[in-house]
Chains A and B, each alone.
Chain A
Amino acid sequence: MSDRLGGLVAALLADDGSKPWPGAVPRRLDNVLGSMPVPARAGVRAAAAAVDAYAMVRTGRRLRSLTPDERETVLASLAGRSSLLPVLDAVKVPVMLAAGTERMIHEEPQAALSMKPPEDPPLDCTSSVEWPDRSTADAVVIGSGAGGAIAARELARAGMRVVVLEEGRRHTTAEFGRRAPLDRFAELYRDGGGTVALGNPPVVLPVGRAVGGTTVVNSGTCYRTPDHVLARWRDSFGLDLADADSYAGCLDEVERTIQVDSAPMDVLGSNGRKALLGAERLGWEAAPLRRNATGCKGSCQCVVGCPTGAKQSVQLSVLPDACSAGARIVTSAYVRRILVERDRPGGPQACGVAVRRPDGSELEILSPLVVVAAGALQSPPLLRRSGLGGHPQLGRNLAIHPAASVAGRFAEPVTAWKGVLQSVGVEELHSEGILIEATAGPPGMGSFVLPGVGRALREELDGAASLATLGAMIADLPSGRVLGARQTLLRYDLAKRDGRRLMRAIEAMGEVLFAAGAEEVLTGIAAAPKARSQRELVEMLGGLTAKQLHLSAFHPTGTVALGSDPQTAPADPEGRLRGVRGVLVTDGSALPSCPEVNPQVTIMATALAVTRAVAAAS
C-alpha cells in the first residue's frame, strides 16, 4: 500500500529526485493516515489505488515506476477532468501536511531545535491506568477544555473534591519544543484532525484532544462576546446570566486569568502586516488581535501547541489553579456514560461516571454533580449513550463558524509561517457577519489548499514563502447536527445565506490582499484557482457557488443549548440539563447560538457564570 502512496506522492509533488525531502514524504504520510479515522484513511488509500490503476491502464506501469515526465502526463490528464478535481483535492490535503513538515525539517532544521522550553506550572495529572477502579468525588468534570477547566477551578475553590476527566493526555511545553509540528498534530487532534462534517460542501472541523482541550491547539484569539449577541441570548433565549453587566465581570475575570492582550507588533509577522496594510489602504477597521499570549515569540505553531509556553491555554493558566485548589485530572479517560439513578424520589439523578481506560477496562467515579464539558461535538453523544439524550433538540442547533481562506502572492517574500499565527483582525464587515483574520499555519497545516498538481503544485510549494493568507469566518445559522451515540457523526448543510456570506468574504479578502499589493490572489477553489485583479476575482466568483469552496470550521457550539424554553433548549438558563438532576453543561455546546467571534472567552465566561451559581448554592 505504501508503494501506491509513494507513487501518488511522487506524482503530486513532481518528485524528480533533485531534492531529498519529497522522498521522505510517503513514510510521514503513512503516519498521518494512521492517526485519521478509518473512513478517511480508507478514502485516501482508495484514491491512491485508483490513481495507480489509472496509470496502469494508461501506461501499463504503476506510478512508482514511471518517469517524472510520464507521471506528470498521467496526472495532467486526470486533472483535466473537472469532476475529478475535488477527489484530487481531498488527497492533496494529507499529502501537503506531510510535505510541509518534511520540507521544513530538511530546509529549516534549526527552527525546531532552537527553542528553550520553559517549565509548565504543576498539574495533578494521573493516568486512568493508575486511577483506582472505584472512587468518589463531589463533582466530576468531563473534559478539560475551556469550559471544563473553569468549572473545575470554580468548584474546587468552593471546597468540593473535583475530578477532571480527559480523554487525551497531558502535553508539556517542553514536549512541544522537542517534537516536529506534524508529530504533535496527529496526537493533539481528535481523529488526527480529520473530523469532517458531512454535507455539500463537506466541512473539515478539527477539535483538540488533550489536557487543555482545544485551547491547546487554537490560535489564541480572544474576543469578548459582542453586546448584541449577549442581548439576543438574554432577550430571545431567556439567559439571565447573559446580562451585559454581570457577564462583563465574568469576561473580565477570564481575560485576567488567561492574560489577554493585543498581539505585539514586533512579532506580528509579515502576514499580519500585509493585512493591516491592505485594510489601512481601504480605510477598513483592522487591528492586531487580542490574544492570550502576551509573551508570544511568533513561533506560528499555535495549532500544534505553543512551543514557548507563551499562549496561556487553560492547562497553563486555569487548570494549575484548579489543581492547587484540590482538583485532580485523570488522563486517557474516555467517559463511557454518565451514571444515573432513576429511582430517586423527585426524578432521575446523575450519580457519577463510568470511564473506559485505553486497555478497555473500566473505572467508575461516583459523584452527585457531573459537569459535561466534552465539547459541542462530543457532549451530545455522551448524553445519548447515558440515556439522557431524550430532548429533541439535543445535538441540533450546531453552529460552526464556517471559514474560507485565500492567499495573495506578493513580489517580495512574506514567509507567513514566521510571526503570530493569527495576528490581525479586519472587522469592517463584522456587522454583516463576516470576520476576517490574518491566519497562517505552519507549512502544510494552514486551511488554505494550494492549487494544481504535479509540477504546478511543486512550483506553488517552492513559492509558498511569498504567499500571505487570510481567513474569514462567518456568523452562521445553526445548520448542523451531531448524530450518534457511540461514534460522533456530523451533518452540516450550509444555509444559502451563509453561502452568500462566504462568497462575499472571499471577495473582501481579495480586496484586502490586492490593496496590500498582491500580484495575484489564490482562491483555493480548484475550478477557479487564481485572479490577478479584484475585478477578475469578482467575475470569477460570480460563476461559482459555495458548494465548490474548501470549507473548514473551528468553533462548534450550541448542541446542548441553554434556554428558558423547555421545548427548544435541552438545558435550562442556569446550565442544568433538563430531565435529570445533577448534570451541568459548561462547554461550547451550552451557547444558545453562534457567538460570532472566536468563542474561547465566551465559553469560559459562560462556564464561570454557570458554575459560580452552583458553587454558591453548595
Chain B
Amino acid sequence: MGARGTTFTETMTGSVCLDGESEQRPIRLDLVVRTDEVLQPHRTTDCVLTGRVRIAGWADDHEATGEMEISPLARRRIRYRLDFTAQGRRYSLDGWKSISPARPVKSMTVLPFVLQRDGEQAAKGTLRFSIATQLLPFLASFRFPRADDSERHLPPRWDGKPGRTEVWYTTVTDPSTGTGLWLHHELVAPTDGSDAYAHGWVARFPADGEGPVEHARFGPQPWKPMPAPHQQGFTSDGIEAGPGQLRGKAGPFSWEMAEHPDGEPLYTFPRWSWRRPLLPAAQIVPAPNASYTGTFSYDGGELQLKGAPGATARIYGHGNARRWSWLHADLGGGDVLEIVAAVSMRPGLRKLPPLVFLRLRKNGRTWPRRAERSALGWAGAGRFRARIGLPTWSVTGRSGLRRIKVVVTQPEERTLALDYKDPDGSAAVCRNSETADARILLERWWGRWRTEAEWSLDGTAHAEVGDR
C-alpha cells in the first residue's frame, strides 16, 4: 500500500437491452472509485467500486459494489465489474473499455457490457462517458488521499521530553442499556523532569435516571516503555489500550473488550499539527466508527457489549487547554461529528475566543475540507463560534454552502466532574458526560437555507467541558 490512494467519480449513461425484450432501456451508472495506490496510467491498478445503477423502469440500486481494473496502457483495458440488485435479484455488470491508440477517444469512452444473473447472460448494452458533460466533473473529482491506518496512530508518541501529556481515551455507548463508558488512559511527563507516570480512570454513565455516575482511578504507575515493535498502545500495570483490544481492572470495574475500528482517521486538528506537534496539543480520532464487543463489570452488574458504537481518540501535547469543550457524536450510518473548542494556555492566545475545530464526516466526506477553516476562518472572519457553558454549550458556523448549529446539553446528574493535572502541575476541572444530548442542524444554501440533515442525540452523545 502506497502513502496515498486515489478516489474519483465517474458517470456514464447508455442503453441496455434485456434478454427477451425488444426495446432498449436507458441505463446510468454513478460510480465512486477508490484505490489504495496512486493511479499510474502505465501500470495496472485494481480499484473498489461503489455507486448507483439505474435502469429505467427496472433497477435503481444505490448500493452497487464491485471492482475496477484500470490499465489503459499495460493491458489496454479498463474493466468494470459491478454487482447490484434489480427486481429482487442479484445481477452483475461486466464490461471493459478496450483502449486502442488508433481511436483513443472512442475507446476510452465507450463501455460495452453484459449483465449476468447466476453466470448466465441476462442483458447486453453499451455505456458511454460524455466528454461534453462529464469530463470536467470527472477530472475535478480526482483526489489522492493519504492512505491512513488507525493502528499506526495508537503507539505512544512521547519522545522523552519533559512537560508532555499523552492520552488514549475511549468512549462507548451500550445501545441495549443506554449506558455510557469512558476509559481514560494518560501518560504524563512532568515539566520538572521527574519520572513519567501512567494513570487514568474508568467511568460508567448509566442511562438517564438509572443511577449516579460512577468512576474509579488507576495509577499512577511509573511509565515503562517497551521496545518499539511491542509498544502498540497504552500499557500499565495490567491495563491495556492497544490495537483491537481494551482490558483492565480498576476499583470495582473490570473490562475486557475487543475493538473493531472502522472509518478513515479523523483529524480534528489540522493534520500537520498531529504529525509535527507545533500546537500546544492536538487530538485525533484514529477510528471514528469503532465498535466494541466484550464485557464491562462494575459493582453490582456487568454489561455485555455486542458491537457497541464508540471511538478511541488520542491527544498529545503540552497539557490541557485553559477552557475547552469536546463532542463526539455518532450520527449513524458511518456519519460522525467531532468538535473540540478550546482556549489555549499560551500567553496571547488565551485572550482569543475559543478556537473551534469541527469535523463532520458525512457520506464518507469530511466537512469543512480543512480543519483550519472552522478555527480561523479567513483571518478570523467567518470562523466558527462556540459558546462554552454548562449544562448547555453550542457551536455554530458556516463554510462554503453549508452551515451547522450544534447544541449540546450535559445534565448535571449525568455529568462527572474530575480534577485534571497538567504536566506543569496546574489543575483543571473536566465535566464529562458520555450520556449527553445533542441537537445538530445542518443546512445547505440553495436560494435560501434549506435543511440538509438534522440529528437529535438523546443520551448517546459524548461530551465534556473543561475549565480552570
* B94 at the A interface (CB under 8 A): yes
Smallest Cβ distance from A442 to chain B, in angstroms?
A: 43
A134 and B75 contacting across the interface, CB-CB below 8 Å: no
* B113 at the A interface (CB under 8 A): yes
B113 and A134 contacting across the interface, CB-CB below 8 Å: yes
Smallest Cβ distance from A131 to chain B, in angstroms?
A: 9
Q: What's the Cα separation between A135 and B92 when bound, in Å?
A: 12
1/0 per residue, CB under 8 A from A, across B315-331: the answer is 00000000000000000
* A285 at the B interface (CB under 8 A): no
A343 and B43 contacting across the interface, CB-CB below 8 Å: yes
Residues in A neighbouring B76, C-beta threshold 8 A: 339
Known contacts A133-B112, A134-B94, A136-B94: A343-B71 contact under CB 8 Å: yes
Q: What's the Cα separation between A572 and B335 when bound, in Å?
A: 58
* B374 at the A interface (CB under 8 A): no
* B109 at the A interface (CB under 8 A): no
Residues in A neighbouring B95, C-beta threshold 8 A: 133-134
* B114 at the A interface (CB under 8 A): yes
Residues in B neighbouring A339, C-beta threshold 8 A: 75-77
Q: What's the Cα separation between A33 and B121 when bound, in Å?
A: 42
* B98 at the A interface (CB under 8 A): yes
Smallest Cβ distance from B158 to chain A, in angstroms?
A: 42
B112 and A351 contacting across the interface, CB-CB below 8 Å: no
Residues in B neighbouring A232, C-beta threshold 8 A: none
B114 and A132 contacting across the interface, CB-CB below 8 Å: yes
B74 and A132 contacting across the interface, CB-CB below 8 Å: no
Q: In the complex, which residues 53-96 of chain B have their Cβ closer than 8 Å to any Cβ of chain A?
A: 71, 74-77, 94-96
Q: Of B44, B71, B95, B98, which is in contact with the most chain A CB atoms at under 10 Å from its CB?
A: B98
A132 and B75 contacting across the interface, CB-CB below 8 Å: no
Smallest Cβ distance from B123 to chain A, in angstroms?
A: 9
Chain A residue nearest to B44 in the complex (CB): A343
A134 and B112 contacting across the interface, CB-CB below 8 Å: yes
* A364 at the B interface (CB under 8 A): yes
Q: In the complex, which residues 134-157 of chain A have their Cβ closer than 8 Å to any Cβ of chain B?
A: 134-136
Smallest Cβ distance from B240 to chain A, in angstroms?
A: 40
* A342 at the B interface (CB under 8 A): yes
* B439 at the A interface (CB under 8 A): no
Smallest Cβ distance from A518 to chain B, in angstroms?
A: 61
Residues in B neighbouring A341, C-beta threshold 8 A: 44, 71, 74-75
B75 and A364 contacting across the interface, CB-CB below 8 Å: no
Q: How many of A's residues come within 8 Å of B, CB to CB?
A: 14
B98 and A364 contacting across the interface, CB-CB below 8 Å: yes
B71 and A134 contacting across the interface, CB-CB below 8 Å: no
A132 and B121 contacting across the interface, CB-CB below 8 Å: yes
1/0 per residue, CB under 8 A from A, across B35-48: the answer is 00000000110000
B96 and A134 contacting across the interface, CB-CB below 8 Å: yes
Known contacts A343-B43, A343-B44, A354-B98: A132-B124 contact under CB 8 Å: yes
Q: What's the Cα separation between A134 and B94 when bound, in Å?
A: 8
Q: What's the Cα separation between A135 and B98 when bound, in Å?
A: 13
Pick from A132, A136, A343, A354: contact of B112, CB below 8 A.
A132
Chain B residue nearest to A362 in the complex (CB): B98
Q: What's the Cα separation between A341 and B74 when bound, in Å?
A: 7
Smallest Cβ distance from A357 to chain B, in angstroms?
A: 13
Chain A residue nearest to B95 in the complex (CB): A134
Chain B residue nearest to A342 in the complex (CB): B74
* B126 at the A interface (CB under 8 A): yes
Would you call the interface of chain A mostly helix, strand, loop, or mixed?
strand
Smallest Cβ distance from A391 to chain B, in angstroms?
A: 23
Pick from B44, B74, B77, B124: contact of A133, CB below 8 A.
B124
Q: What's the Cα separation between A138 and B392 when bound, in Å?
A: 65
Smallest Cβ distance from A560 to chain B, in angstroms?
A: 24
Q: What's the Cα separation between A312 and B114 when bound, in Å?
A: 36
A134 and B44 contacting across the interface, CB-CB below 8 Å: no
Q: What's the Cα separation between A500 and B259 when bound, in Å?
A: 87
Q: How many of B's residues come within 8 Å of A, CB to CB?
A: 17
Q: In the complex, which residues 72-89 of chain A have their Cβ closer than 8 Å to any Cβ of chain B?
A: none
Residues in A neighbouring B124, C-beta threshold 8 A: 132-134
Q: What's the Cα separation between A613 and B85 when bound, in Å?
A: 40
Smallest Cβ distance from B117 to chain A, in angstroms?
A: 14
Smallest Cβ distance from A496 to chain B, in angstroms?
A: 47
Chain A residue nearest to B75 in the complex (CB): A341
Residues in A neighbouring B74, C-beta threshold 8 A: 341-343
Smallest Cβ distance from A115 to chain B, in angstroms?
A: 39
Residues in A neighbouring B44, C-beta threshold 8 A: 341, 343
Smallest Cβ distance from A364 to chain B, in angstroms?
A: 6
Chain A residue nearest to B115 in the complex (CB): A132
Q: What's the Cα separation between A119 and B74 when bound, in Å?
A: 48
Residues in A neighbouring B114, C-beta threshold 8 A: 132, 134-135
Residues in B neighbouring A343, C-beta threshold 8 A: 43-44, 71, 74-75
Q: What's the Cα separation between A66 and B112 when bound, in Å?
A: 62
Residues in B neighbouring A132, C-beta threshold 8 A: 112, 114, 121, 124
Residues in B neighbouring A136, C-beta threshold 8 A: 94
Q: What's the Cα separation between A362 and B100 when bound, in Å?
A: 12
Q: In the complex, which residues 52-77 of chain A have their Cβ closer than 8 Å to any Cβ of chain B?
A: none
Smallest Cβ distance from A385 to chain B, in angstroms?
A: 14
1/0 per residue, CB under 8 A from B, across A511-534: the answer is 000000000000000000000000
Chain A residue nearest to B77 in the complex (CB): A339
Known contacts A132-B121, A133-B126, A364-B98: A351-B75 contact under CB 8 Å: yes
Q: What's the Cα separation between A135 and B126 when bound, in Å?
A: 13
Residues in B neighbouring A342, C-beta threshold 8 A: 74-75
Q: In the complex, which residues 418-445 of chain B have their Cβ closer than 8 Å to any Cβ of chain A?
A: none
Smallest Cβ distance from B320 to chain A, in angstroms?
A: 53
Q: Of A134, A341, A366, which is in contact with the most chain B CB atoms at under 10 Å from its CB?
A: A134
Q: What's the Cα separation between A364 and B111 when bound, in Å?
A: 12
Q: What's the Cα separation between A135 and B116 when bound, in Å?
A: 10
Smallest Cβ distance from A344 to chain B, in angstroms?
A: 9
Residues in B neighbouring A364, C-beta threshold 8 A: 96, 98
Chain A residue nearest to B74 in the complex (CB): A343
Q: What's the Cα separation between A134 and B81 when bound, in Å?
A: 12
Q: In the complex, which residues 323-341 of chain A have their Cβ closer than 8 Å to any Cβ of chain B?
A: 339, 341
Q: What's the Cα separation between A367 and B311 when bound, in Å?
A: 46
Q: In the complex, which residues 177-213 of chain A have their Cβ closer than 8 Å to any Cβ of chain B?
A: none
Residues in A neighbouring B112, C-beta threshold 8 A: 132-134
Smallest Cβ distance from B37 to chain A, in angstroms?
A: 14
Q: What's the Cα separation between A341 and B77 when bound, in Å?
A: 10
Q: What's the Cα separation between A134 and B124 when bound, in Å?
A: 9
Q: What's the Cα separation between A134 and B14 when bound, in Å?
A: 15
Residues in A neighbouring B126, C-beta threshold 8 A: 133
Q: What's the Cα separation between A362 and B121 when bound, in Å?
A: 19
Q: What's the Cα separation between A132 and B116 when bound, in Å?
A: 12
1/0 per residue, CB under 8 A from A, across B99-132: the answer is 0000000000000111000000100101000000
Chain A residue nearest to B119 in the complex (CB): A161
Chain B residue nearest to A351 in the complex (CB): B75
Q: What's the Cα separation between A434 and B131 when bound, in Å?
A: 67
Q: In the complex, which residues 209-251 of chain A have their Cβ closer than 8 Å to any Cβ of chain B?
A: none
1/0 per residue, CB under 8 A from B, across A107-135: the answer is 00000000000000000000000001111
Smallest Cβ distance from A523 to chain B, in angstroms?
A: 53
Q: What's the Cα separation between A133 and B71 when bound, in Å?
A: 19
Residues in A neighbouring B75, C-beta threshold 8 A: 339, 341-343, 351
Q: Of A132, A354, A362, which is in contact with the most chain B CB atoms at under 10 Å from its CB?
A: A132
Smallest Cβ distance from A584 to chain B, in angstroms?
A: 21
Smallest Cβ distance from A349 to chain B, in angstroms?
A: 10
Q: What's the Cα separation between A134 and B95 when bound, in Å?
A: 6
Q: Which 5 A-B pairs rank lowest in CB-CB distance, beginning with the nearest?
A: A133-B112, A343-B74, A132-B124, A132-B114, A134-B95
Give 21 A-B contacts (CB < 8 Å), ordered by A residue. Answer: A132-B112, A132-B121, A133-B112, A133-B124, A133-B126, A134-B96, A134-B112, A134-B114, A135-B114, A135-B121, A136-B94, A339-B76, A339-B77, A341-B44, A341-B71, A341-B74, A341-B75, A343-B71, A351-B75, A364-B96, A364-B98
Beyond contacts A133-B126, A135-B114: 13 other A-B pairs, Cβ-Cβ < 8 A, are A133-B113, A133-B124, A134-B112, A134-B113, A339-B75, A339-B77, A341-B44, A341-B71, A341-B75, A342-B75, A343-B44, A343-B71, A343-B74
